[in-house]
Homo-oligomer: A and B are copies of this chain.
């Protein structure tokens, strides 16, 4: 338990306010000042806790990102078939749930930079295991890499972010290609 009690309390309030606001209007459209106001906190406090907007996004999204890595391990343990599609569905759902995230997720996953970077890396490792198993079973083309899989899934998720359409048909087509 680190830091002062008021600091911890304010940080928690900020993350909660950000989660709500991001879900309501999208991460792009949400203004940092509005997050601070909703949390009942001064703007300065927000910026001390999170050095930039992406850091706040990372905190909001972090847990469910960790959840994705865990889900991959669990599917690998319990699901004899169709686990790859199940997991990609979950990935797309996760990105769709956090509007405005796709772009920063993509960047973070690619460069490994920023606060999202390490967590994305964990997700990629989990995806790699899942993909390897699927390839053994002939459920995925052998030349596909985990990074490519994530890129494609993120792209599909992004389409529904921009169009507010249903990504399911897109995923069907994509999975025909993954084989």
A residues neighboring B (CB under 8 Å): 103, 106-107, 110, 141, 144, 148, 151-152, 154-156, 158-159, 162-163, 165, 169-170, 173-179
Contact = CB atoms under 8 A, between A and B. Distances in A.
Please report whether the interface of chain A is mostly helix, strand, loop or mixed according to DSSP.
helix
Copies in the assembly, this chain: 2
A173 B173 contact: no
Given A176-B179, A177-B174, A152 B159 contact: yes
A127 B174 CA distance: 19
B162 A110 contact: yes
Given A175-B177, A177-B175, A178-B177, A159 B170 contact: no
Contact of A174 (B103, B173, B179): B173
